[in-house]
């Protein structure tokens, strides 16, 4: 069982792809030494990043959809 659940995380993101990209970028920052923004018992950077997203401590900006035609 994944903690936090995918269902709860999808309420915070517009797609699974966006969620994965945001979590991966934040996990890399945590691995590089940035401090956690939530009190988490997990030592895994991806889990901490997902908890930050779930608790609205981490936001991501979505670029405009579509490109030049």
pTM greater than the 0.85 cutoff:
no
What pLDDT, on the 0 to 100 scale, is given for residue 12? 86
Residue 45 and residue 31 in contact, taking contact as beta carbons nearer than 8 Å: yes
The closest alpha carbon to 47, from 14, 1, 3, belongs to 3
Asked if residue 66 is part of any domain, the answer here is: no
Asked if residue 68 is part of any domain, the answer here is: no
At residue 11, φ and ψ (nearest 5 deg) are: -75, -15
Asked if residue 25 is part of any domain, the answer here is: yes
pLDDT at 64 over 70: no
Asked if residue 67 is part of any domain, the answer here is: no
Structural domain count of the chain: 1
Asked if residue 63 is part of any domain, the answer here is: no
Asked if residue 22 is part of any domain, the answer here is: yes
Asked if residue 30 is part of any domain, the answer here is: yes
Asked if residue 38 is part of any domain, the answer here is: yes
């Amino acid at each position: 069982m994944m903690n936090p659940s995918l269902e709860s995380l999808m309420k915070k993101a517009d797609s699974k792809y966006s969620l994965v990209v945001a979590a991966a970028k934040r996990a890399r920052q945590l691995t590089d030494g940035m401090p956690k923004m939530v009190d988490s018992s997990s030592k895994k950077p991806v889990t901490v990043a997902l908890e930050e997203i779930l608790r609205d401590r981490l936001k991501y900006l979505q670029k405009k959809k579509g490109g030049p035609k």
